[in-house]
Amino acid sequence: MQDPFDITPLLSWLPIESPPFVIAGPCSAESEEQVLSTARELAKIPQVKVFRAGLWKPRTRPSAFEGVGSAGLQWLKKVKEETGLMTTVEVANPKHVKEALNSGVDILWIGARTVVNPFSVQEISEVLRGVDIPVMVKNPLNPDIKVWIGALERLNQVGIRKLVAVHRGFSFFSHTPYRNAPMWEIPIELKRLYPGLPVLVDPSHICGETSLIRPVTQKALDLEMDGMMIEVHIRPQEALTDKEQQITPVQLKELLLGLIIRETYGTIEFENKLEELRTEIDKLDEELIHILSRRMDIVEEIGKYKKENNITILQLKRWSQIIHNRVDNGVKLGLSRDFLLKLLEALHEESIQRQTEVMNRER
């Protein structure tokens, strides 16, 4: 394990009265009116302490809206003057950092696409040497905790002590209900390694759409995350970036009202162990499904064989043998007779169905 980071606690530099700590604002700053009207509404929500807006947007295709750039810095100044909210922007290179610092932005964040590149993170760190500003580090796109830790280390080494990690989910090779798979075990491991490091969740980029935001945010809080960075737009349907995942200030208020802030958290060790066990269950269920699919393949083969030999599908003798033998074995292994009977019944029904399909198929 590496040396623990030298971290200034979140509560010493943020005026939080009631948890969770919330950073909210649009994915992108689009116009002065959009920025200010969103900020005005957000400032009415007590948990919102920081206003976010992307000015320099990393986009997949060059034809997409790439942000308003430096022009937006003036709008953020106005947000701060008018609402008292602190402000934060994504920085991806030393030029962004210098401009943000010169304009009085309160907190910087490094995005998932920049964190993957140690050269970029080092360049950003160099211009921050000796500067006392909080920096948030999103996880890299790929599920590699070392890359995430490496970026935090680079910043800590140049003297950034107000460090925050932001969990925004990971690109995943197979389909999941999320835009970016949460893979909770990774932020949990980060918290285990660095208990003093604040970790926020970014439910917007994990979910990619609004309906999943509530359960993901609740889960993050249940895992003792310190708060959230969430995308909020005054008119999400008009958003130029990440339209599907942005909510309105009213929706944010409702979300916060509905969240359960648990008084007694389990320890990190407890959560970690729980997550480990759940991962084990996930693997077993996956195996179970593979085994069931293999079983049905063989059932089909038997069906074909019976068909070729003109034998009936239902063979009661064989079936009662199966029931006896499986139930006895299962009971010995601690499973209940009732459960085994239900399970075998379901398997049998499906098997007969599959064989009937084979019988009815044209040769």
Instruction: Write phi, then psi, for 263 (nearest 5 degrees).
Output: -75, -45
Query: What 3-state DSSP class applies to 342?
Result: helix
C-beta closer to ligand PEP: residue 80 or 205: 205
CB of 277 to ligand PEP, least distance (A): 29
Residue nearest to ligand PEP (CB): 111
C-beta closer to ligand PEP: residue 60 or 360: 60
Contacts with Mn ion by CB under 5 A: the residue count is 2
For position 106 contacting Mn ion by CB under 5 A, the verdict is: no
Distance separating alpha carbons of residues 308 and 359, to the nearest angstrom: 9
User: Which residue among 90, 123, 226, 242 contacts Mn ion (CB under 5 A)?
Assistant: 242
Which part of the chain contacts Mn ion (CB under 5 A), choosing from 72-80, 219-227, 241-249, 317-325?
Answer: 241-249
H or E segment at 60? none
C-beta closer to ligand PEP: residue 197 or 229: 229
CB of 54 to ligand PEP, least distance (A): 5
Residue 354 interaction partner, one of Mn ion, ligand PEP, none, beta carbon < 5-8 Å per kind: none
Distance separating alpha carbons of residues 78 and 300, to the nearest angstrom: 69
DSSP 8-state secondary structure symbol assigned to residue 35: H
Contacts with ligand PEP by CB under 6 A: the residue count is 10
Instruction: Write phi, then psi, for 83 (nearest 5 degrees).
Output: -110, -20
Contact at 8 Å (CB) between 25 and 58? no
User: Which residue among 45, 91, 112, 165 contacts ligand PEP (CB under 6 A)?
Assistant: 112
Q: Which of residues 15-54 bind ligand PEP (CB under 6 A)?
A: 27, 54
Instruction: Write phi, then psi, for 166 (nearest 5 degrees).
Output: -125, 120
Burial label, 30 (beta-carbon count in 10 A; 0-12, 13-18, 19+):
buried
Question: CB-based contacts of 326: which residues, under 8 Å, 6+ apart?
Answer: 340, 344
Question: CB-based contacts of 18: which residues, under 8 Å, 6+ apart?
Answer: 46, 47
Which part of the chain contacts Mn ion (CB under 5 A), choosing from 20-28, 59-67, 109-117, 289-297?
Answer: 20-28
Q: Which of residues 135-174 bind ligand PEP (CB under 6 A)?
A: 138, 168
Strand partners, 225: none
Which part of the chain contacts Mn ion (CB under 5 A), choosing from 23-31, 123-131, 164-172, 260-268?
Answer: 23-31
CB of 132 to ligand PEP, least distance (A): 24
**CA quadruple 73, 238, 135, 149: dihedral sign:** negative
- Listed residue (288, 167, 141, 149) closest to 226, CA to CA: 167
For position 96 contacting ligand PEP by CB under 6 A, the verdict is: no
Name the site residues for Mn ion (rule: CB under 5 A): 27, 242
Name the site residues for ligand PEP (rule: CB under 6 A): 27, 54, 58, 111-113, 138, 168, 202, 205
